[in-house]
Amino acid sequence: MMIPLLAFLAVDFARDIEPLLASRCTGCHGERTQMKGLRLDNRAAAARVLGAADSLLLQKLEDGSMPPVKPKLTAAEVARFREWIEGGAPWPDGTKKPAAAKARHWSFEPVRTATPPVTRNRAWPRNEIDRFILARLEKEAWEPSPEAEKSTLIRRLSLDLTGLPPTAGEVFAFLTDNRGDAYERLVDRLLESPHFGERWARPWLDQARYADSDGYEKDYVRPHAWRWRHWVIGAINDDMPFDRFTVEQIAGDLLPGATVDQRIATGFHRNTLTNREGGVNNEQFRVEQVMDRAATIGSVWLGLTFGCAQCHDHKYDPVSQKDFYQMFAFFNSADELDIDAPLAGEMGPYLAALPEYRKKREALLAGCGVAKHQAPWEARMKEARAQPGKWTDWDHAFDALTKYLDNALTILDTPPAQRTQKQTDAMTDHFVRNYHRVISKDLWKELRFVELRRKLTELRVGFPALSEAPVLVERPVRRPSHVLTRGDWKNPGAAVEPLPPAFLHTVPAGVEPPRLTLARWLVAPENPLTARVAVNRIWQELFGRGLVRTAEDFGAQGEKPSHPELLDWLAARFRDSGWKRKALIKTIVMSATYRQSSAARPEIDARDAGNTLLSHQSRLRLPAETIRDSALAVSELLHTAVGGRSVRPPLPDGVIELAYGTDAGWPESTGRDRYRRGLYIHFQRTVPYPQLMNFDAPDASLAACKRERSTTPLQALNLLNDPVFIEAAQGLAARMLRESPTVEHLFRSCLSRKPTSRESGLAREFLRDQEQRFASEGDAARKLHPVELPGISPEKAAAWTALASAMLNLEEFITRE
Amino acid sequence: MLTRRQLLQSALAPTHFPASARAVIFLFMPGGPSQIDLFDPKPELRKWHGKPLPVEATKDLKLAFIKPNANAVASPRQFARHGGSGAEISDLLPHTARQADQLCIVRGVHTDAFNHDPGELMLMTGSMQFGRPSMGAWVNYGLGSESRNLPGFVVLSSGAPPSAGTNDWSNGFLPSAYQGTQFRRSGDPILYLSSPEGFTREMQRSRLDVIRRMNEKRRRETGDPEIDARIASYELAFRMQSAAPELLDLSSESARTLEMYGVNREPTHQYALHCLLARRMVERGVRFVLVSHGSWDDHNDIDKGLDKNCRITDQPSAALIADLRQRGLLDSTLVIWGGEFGRTPMTQQQRTDIGYGRDHHPNCFSMWLAGGGIRAGVTVGKTDELGLEAVEDRIHVHDLQATILHTLGLDHLRLTYPHSGRDFRLTDVAGLVARKLLRRPPA
């Protein structure tokens, strides 16, 4: 088990003291105001209250008289001050550098157009990338590694570009293709595969914290979340330029004549968690969601830990608290809405069925006298809202209204006659479901609303409703935005306008709505971060680590790029040749650097343990989804349909019961949907699919800019015993027995290579041994392989299943070499 | 299984300072048990029963559902003094009361969150945000595990699951090796623990052998040391396949022990089993066991709800203390009992057709700790006479976390992990060790 050294953390001025001075003291004792003539924004001016023996500052903090307004400092914070002052109150110069000085950090400088260096070895480089890499290796007097075997290359390319292993037929075709451009043809074919979009959507979904449920206690299912995922897969398959990809997701709704697809793109921002727990203040949670959106822009596009500036100026980067709330202001006037977004073929049946549906629904409602109860109920709701605390039960009911019904207040404030049909239905449905909160049990029984609710649901299930999509819409009147003191929504400070961070370039001129302006600013040619961050994350997918290892942080606390000129060369090329993702990926995979063998270089690895200088490729454990997909692919169980709704493959008993939310059930998918790619597995935030979590899929709470690759015993149990992988082993065995029951065919199908003689020997010995064991174990063979295969004994089928399972467990099978 | 002697001598990661505890059992009561009805009597409330509390006392209160002007309700429970220390414990907890001299009852705990999800996350991860590592993950990250055959952080849950679900035992941004492994109540105790149907243990071994040999061959060809870790993970998985059933096999436990916990008897069985398993896990080197029983979220019908939960949990919790003590394990095992917050002195209900209940109360609530170097037979902290605020020896949940780490020899300020551009720790940017809870005099 890993036990890292623990960093010693004594009191640190920049980390522990300065932020508190800045957020709690200098408002009154700073540059602008000096109450009692005291300044606490520099050592010289503050010295008179910092004496170790008689510090007035410490005295005031300890007796609680300062700061004079809540929140007071915590005991721990005061203790930090004591430790600091007793230690002589060290105040390092320049911890508060002027913004201009900080802005010289490498990633805030413009992207430079670097010229690839000249290398001594002229034969090895295939393109510019290789000259950057080789020049650096030559400085160490290291040779690059030889090209990997062809069989390794096709497996590497297939997994990297489509997330699926190559079939034995594809491997054979590539190995026997002797044309000079066989490799490039393979790359082009894979770039055009519809599975390319699935593979490359995954890291984007990680960054967007995509999930199929709300999160938090209730964790309601989001039945339409998949529409945005579907859009991403399509956009990546169509090679939508990254600038447009950006603009549509940030502000597609604000483009002139926005299409439904462009509005669906804004579903990016609907991936924030939603808290419907009783008692949560709605405005507080709305503000938290907007903060999350602002922080996510920082993580995803700028590679900055923007969220750190929520409560105070960023401690290391020149992001001020004001910058954060200016970013916040871009999203503060965007509301959530689920729009009708019919799929092809839905409109006709919908229109045909609508009149009958409305008639039946109205009849059901009238039959229970809903209207006559609902009107006074709505009136009381408004009273409860105006006079909180007067009627506890109605407070509770009002809280439920705002939690469970999206945009409840907007609907409540709209006179019934002016509501849309959707609003009317939503309010009535909520009423029927929740009226019990404020009436006696007897009346509730008498009204028979439970039965009514069931009938309404039945009616709805039979009705061909239009599909919806979660999007953002801009409010007609903008909400004012403020700096929130210490991130507290109840504590607004100075008003702010939507503006990008002051230390970067200014916004493009024009009169477009602010959110659209932000989108254009992110992909403006002078933006030094967006292109660098994006190419680094693509590089990371192809080499296992970015040129900047801290892909999530390009700020002062992040690592510097290993090859700064190469990073800039790639960024400039990406930006200047139309932000084409496929072209960038092709350039990278065509390089000799990418094609190197991944075998270790003991003589070099001792000095470059992380393979930072890329003296070889890296062996990378596959992502969670790819492991599952690979097993289903080689067993030919995989259902390769692209896009569409999420699926729920079978779960072990007792897993979903962990979900606290009332809404969580797990209606198992049937037929081939059980075998769809891992990307489509319904992601319930409080109870994610276990195999995904065992293999380091992120939890969809915050933007995840890279994945861990851990090795745990639970992973071993998962691959050895999970019925999904046993079923895959059965399928693989049946396939081998049907096609060609040889160890060679098995290896070629699973690992894209033929076995060595030692491997063949081991496998055949294992088969013999297993067959004998099964023969002496009664009906064990039929249990392991229940399907009868013509002309094959159950023992043989079981032995092959055991061998197939062993193949799926090989380290090599779950590794891209 | 480790003998006590081995347990005491086994190699440990170097701690920041000498540890008094080697393992933690957290008896987690999600939902928020009512301190007013269990550990913190408020006779003064009788004067206000059925009336709003004085405005000056409640004006700054911020609660989840009710407003500060809701009617107060006195506890109908009887409190008596127990043990040599005279600890005040209500009649709902007769078994716990008999262990009073082992307990350190802490009355001044407070937290920042008044809703379950953020409250649980605050208690378990030190932050109300999703995505942070939980206490058990931090402890295993800091100390490693002493068990060769079992995960270092195990979760056992009965009753209603905690509302933050797996986030309560998440590894967050720590490597997934540190995540809590849930032992399940039905099917395999650990997900995917059993070999497939038709597979004997010998067959499983020979399947593992062929995998290992091929992996070793690949290791030689590629020189990739990651393959060694993969091979080791399969060996540990195989040992878990036999260690977990051995752990769950209670045939070596005496009838007296089973009886003491309340195993095989309702309503205690499931929670009692979990308490007993927690002891067995600690004996086998598991570092952190989270035993959860919910829910204590008694907004309505609190008299009934508390009675039910106490009948389930009182005896097993008390038996765990007694059993650890008689086996000489209590000194090295820290046991903690408590929820994410407490409950209000006011009622939530105005209706008469539903029994009264209490709302969430973050400002003061009670927990107890025992063993692991914690003072025994004391009650620390005081709340005001209406039970609205902690007024003496206030202990924020960050302070509690700092104290728990301290007993394990870990300095909460130095147990850090770099992530997203800064060092994170369990106690966020706060936390003070509550020295008053520690048996050893302050260093």
Q: Do both A415 and A518 map to the same domain?
A: no
Mean pLDDT of B182-197: 83
Report cis status (omega within 30 of 0) of the bond before A67: yes
Beta-carbon-side half-sphere exposure of residue A370 (alpha carbons within 13 Å)? 25
**Within a domain: A359:** yes
Q: What is the pLDDT of residue B10?
A: 39
Packed helices A581-590 and A530-543: angle between N→C axes, nearest 10 degrees: 50
What is Dmax (Cα atoms) for chain A? 97
Q: Do A279 and B63 touch (CB under 8 A)?
A: yes
Identify whether the C-beta of residue B305 lies closer than 8 Å to the C-beta of residue B29. Answer: no
Mean pLDDT of A721-744: 96
**Within a domain: A625:** no
Mean pLDDT of A344-349: 92
Q: Do B115 and A275 touch (CB under 8 A)?
A: yes
pLDDT at B443 over 50: no
Interface with chain A: mutation pick from B128, B134, B199, B398, highest number of A CBs within 10 Å: B199
Q: Do both A550 and A409 map to the same domain?
A: no
Q: What is the pLDDT of residue A215?
A: 87
Q: What is the pLDDT of residue A202?
A: 98
Q: Which residues of A touch B217 (CB under 8 A)?
A: 756, 758-759
Angle at A647 between CA A641 and CA A652, to 5 degrees: 130
pLDDT band at A91 (very low <50, low <70, confident <90, very high): confident
With CA atoms as reference, report the closest residue to A696 among A706, A684, A710: A710
Q: What is the pLDDT of residue B351?
A: 63
> Can you tell me the distance from the alpha carbon of A558 to that of A545, in angstroms, rounded to the nearest whole number?
14
Residue B65 has its nearest CB partner, among A395, A655, A806, at A395
- Residue of higher predicted confidence among B320 and A60: B320
Q: Return the SS3 of A312.
A: coil
Bridging pattern class, strands B333-338 and B365-370? antiparallel
Residue A755 sits in which domain range? 721-816
- Residue of higher predicted confidence among A457 and A236: A236
Check residue B120 and report its DSSP letter.
Answer: H
Q: Do A701 and B204 touch (CB under 8 A)?
A: no
Q: What is the pLDDT of residue B415?
A: 94
Q: Which residues of A touch B207 (CB under 8 A)?
A: 720, 766, 802, 805-806, 809
With CA atoms as reference, report the closest residue to B332 among B363, B360, B373: B373
Q: Which residues of B touch A762 (CB under 8 A)?
A: 210, 213-214
Question: In chain B, which residue's Cα lies nearest the Cα of A8?
Answer: B414
Q: What is the least distance, in Å, from the CA of B354 to any CA of chain A? A: 10
Q: What is the pLDDT of residue A314?
A: 82
pLDDT at A377 over 90: yes
Residue B237 has its nearest CB partner, among A219, A605, A717, at A717
Q: Which residues pair with A670 in a beta bridge?
A: none
Lowest mean pLDDT among A61-65, A551-555, B386-390: A61-65
Q: Do B353 and A6 touch (CB under 8 A)?
A: no
- Residue of higher predicted confidence among A258 and A344: A258
The amino acid present at A62, given as its one-letter code, is E
Q: Which two structure tokens, joined as six digits, stand for A653?
A: 């008993």
| Residues ≥6 apart with Cβ < 8 Å to A549 | A559, A562, A610, A612
- Residue of higher predicted confidence among A594 and A394: A594
Residue A117: Cβ within 10 Å count: 14
The amino acid present at B235, given as its one-letter code, is E
**Within a domain: A689:** no
Identify whether the C-beta of residue B438 lies closer than 8 Å to the C-beta of residue B406. Answer: yes
Q: Do A273 and B130 touch (CB under 8 A)?
A: yes
Packed helices A743-751 and A794-809: angle between N→C axes, nearest 10 degrees: 30
Mean pLDDT of B153-181: 85
Kindly report, residue by residue over A534-577, the tens digit of the pLDDT.
999 999 999 999 999 989 899 887 889 999 999 999 999 999 99
> Can you tell me the distance from the alpha carbon of B37 to that of B345, in angstroms, rounded to the nearest whole number?
10
Domain end (from A522, A557, A588): A522
Q: Do A810 and B214 touch (CB under 8 A)?
A: yes
Q: What is the pLDDT of residue A737?
A: 96
Packed helices A723-739 and A743-751: angle between N→C axes, nearest 10 degrees: 130
| Residues ≥6 apart with Cβ < 8 Å to A587 | A127, A129, A570, A573
> Can you tell me the distance from the alpha carbon of A10 to that of A170, in angstroms, rounded to the nearest whole number?
59
Q: Do both A578 and A429 map to the same domain?
A: no
* Residue numbers of A between 614 and 653 with CB closer than 8 Å to B: 619, 621, 652-653
Query: DSSP letters along B269-315, please?
Result: HHHHHHHHHHHHHHHTT--EEEEEEE----SS-HHHHHHHHHHHHHH
Number of domains making up chain A? 5
Q: What is the pLDDT of residue A74?
A: 81
Most confident residue range from A373-387, B59-73, B207-221:
B207-221
Question: In chain A, which residue's Cα lies nearest the Cα of B240?
Answer: A713
Task: Return phi, psi of residue B358, to 5°.
Answer: -125, 150
> Can you tell me the distance from the alpha carbon of B210 to that of A161, in angstroms, rounded to the nearest whole number?
31
Which stretches of B71-111 are assigned E, i.e. beta strand? Answer: 79-82, 87-90, 103-110
Residue B59: Cβ within 10 Å count: 9
Lowest mean pLDDT among A124-133, A401-410, A469-478, B248-257: A401-410
The amino acid present at A225, given as its one-letter code, is A
Q: Which residues pair with B392 in a beta bridge?
A: B382
Residue B192 has its nearest CB partner, among A16, A392, A717, at A717
What is Dmax (Cα atoms) for chain B? 81
pLDDT band at A663 (very low <50, low <70, confident <90, very high): low
pLDDT band at A13 (very low <50, low <70, confident <90, very high): confident
Q: Which residues pair with B378 in a beta bridge?
A: B104
pLDDT at A473 over 90: yes
Kindly report, residue by residue over A275-286, the tens digit of the pLDDT.
887 767 788 889
Interface with chain B: mutation pick from A1, A616, A784, highest number of B CBs within 10 Å: A1
Q: Which residues pair with B79 in a beta bridge?
A: B90
Question: In chain B, which residue's Cα lies nearest the Cα of A815?
Answer: B227
At which residue do the structure tokens 């069931």 appear?
A454
Lowest mean pLDDT among A177-186, A330-339, A596-605: A596-605
Q: Do both A336 and A477 map to the same domain?
A: yes
Residue B165 has its nearest CB partner, among A658, A762, A781, at A658
| Residues ≥6 apart with Cβ < 8 Å to A440 | B353
Q: Given its phi and psi angles, is residue B428 left (phi above 0), alpha (psi -120 to 50 degrees) or beta? A: left
> Can you tell me the distance from the alpha carbon of A459 to that of A452, in angstroms, rounded to the nearest whole number?
10
Q: Which two structure tokens, joined as six digits, stand for A470?
A: 């979660």
Q: Is any Cβ of chain B less than 8 angstroms from the Cβ of A313?
A: no
Identify whether the C-beta of residue A682 lies closer than 8 Å to the C-beta of residue B201. Answer: no
Kindly report, residue by residue over A190-241, the tens digit of the pLDDT.
999 999 999 999 999 999 999 999 988 788 899 999 999 999 999 999 999 9
Q: Do A699 and B202 touch (CB under 8 A)?
A: no
Bridging pattern class, strands B23-28 and B288-294? parallel
**Within a domain: A796:** yes
Residue A399 vs residues A273, A280, A287, A389: alpha-carbon distances, Å = 19, 8, 17, 12
Domain locations in chain B?
Answer: 16-193+259-437
* Beta carbon pairs, A and B, within 8 Å: 295
- Residue of higher predicted confidence among A691 and A74: A691
CA end-to-end span of chain B, whole Å?
34
CATH class of B16-193+259-437: alpha beta
Identify whether the C-beta of residue A533 lies closer than 8 Å to the C-beta of residue A301. Answer: yes
Q: What is the least distance, in Å, from the CA of A465 to any CA of chain B? A: 33
Q: What is the pLDDT of residue B353?
A: 67
Q: Do both A409 and A483 map to the same domain?
A: no
Mean pLDDT of A675-687: 94
The amino acid present at A17, given as its one-letter code, is I
Q: Which residues of B touch A216 (CB under 8 A)?
A: 117, 163-164
Q: Which two structure tokens, joined as six digits, stand for A541?
A: 């997918």
What is the ipTM for the molecules in this complex?
A: 0.82
> Can you tell me the distance from the alpha carbon of A88 to that of A52, in angstroms, rounded to the nearest whole number?
6
Q: What is the pLDDT of residue A93?
A: 66
Q: Do both A368 and A337 map to the same domain?
A: no
pLDDT at B226 over 90: no
Q: What is the pLDDT of residue B352?
A: 64
